[in-house]
């Protein structure tokens, strides 16, 4: 199946993925790379979508000055974690600056003529994650279900849950571009690599 390039709206949203929101190294304000990218599109950034309640994905959210959306479970998680401190500057980040303002209901939404499918995924890296699909473009914004050539973060030790998500998305063959939560954009080849990684973790190196 061939796909057209993601539309500008799609790029706009997917590029706002919070891997650019890490609090460390960038100081106050959105990541300079993201700011440049958004400017070059010539379109306003009008929303930010937070995928899940890990601080490296939401800590800088308020700095964009746009409505921030997340699943109710994610908002609850962010509130439970509470206020944070930016590193290495030590600048306090009040909880209100990081709490999404709009509750998201999973489903399909057409933005600038492009259908976006917002899907709630459970288990794996974290209990609740929002995955975004662009069926017309064949793009899967997999968030932290996929770490491309970076270490999977097994904090929750939910190996089976992670593998179940990998298997489910691997079976959805309409998506030829996979945007990971960590690492470079990739292809469905990543599903086999992730499976190897999970297995190596669960069972140790093969002799």
Looking at beta carbons only, is 56 or 86 nearer to Zn ion? 56
CA distances in angstroms from 90 to 11, 23, 64, listed in the order given = 32, 10, 20
Nearer to Zn ion (CB atom), residue 56 or residue 176: 56
Task: Write out the residues near Zn ion by the rule CB under 5 A.
Answer: 144, 181
- Quick one: 138 or 147, whose CB is closer to Zn ion? 147
Q: Which is nearer to Zn ion, 124 or 181 (CB)?
A: 181
CB of 19 to Zn ion, least distance (A): 7
At its nearest, how many Å lie between Zn ion and the CB of residue 57?
6
C-alpha distances in Å from residue 65, one per residue of 77, 98, 165, 167: 21, 11, 33, 37
Minimum CB–partner distance for residue 64 and Zn ion (Å)? 18
CB of 206: closest distance to Zn ion in angstroms? 28
The long-range contacts involving 86-93, CB below 8 angstroms and separated by at least 24 positions, are 86/23, 86/24, 86/28, 86/59, 87/23, 87/24, 88/24, 89/27, 91/28, 93/23, 93/59
């Amino acid at each position: 199946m061939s796909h057209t390039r993601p539309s500008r709206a799609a790029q706009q949203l997917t590029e706002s993925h919070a891997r650019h929101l890490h609090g460390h190294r960038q100081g106050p304000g959105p990541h300079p790379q993201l700011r440049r990218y958004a400017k070059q599109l010539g379109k306003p950034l009008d929303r930010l979508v937070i995928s899940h309640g890990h601080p490296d994905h939401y800590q800088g959210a308020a700095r964009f000055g746009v409505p921030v959306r997340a699943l109710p479970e994610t908002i609850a998680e962010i509130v439970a974690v509470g206020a944070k401190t930016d590193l290495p500057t030590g600048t306090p980040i009040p909880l209100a600056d990081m709490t999404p303002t709009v509750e998201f209901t999973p489903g399909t939404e057409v933005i600038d003529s492009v259908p976006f499918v917002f899907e709630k995924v459970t288990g794996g890296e974290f209990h609740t994650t929002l995955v975004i699909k662009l069926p017309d473009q064949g793009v899967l914004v997999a968030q932290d279900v996929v770490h491309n050539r970076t270490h999977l973060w097994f904090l929750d030790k939910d190996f089976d849950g992670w593998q179940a998500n990998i298997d489910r998305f691997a079976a959805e063959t309409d998506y030829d571009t996979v945007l990971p939560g960590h690492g470079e954009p990739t292809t469905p080849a990543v599903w086999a690599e992730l499976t190897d990684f999970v297995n190596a973790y669960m069972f140790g190196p093969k002799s």
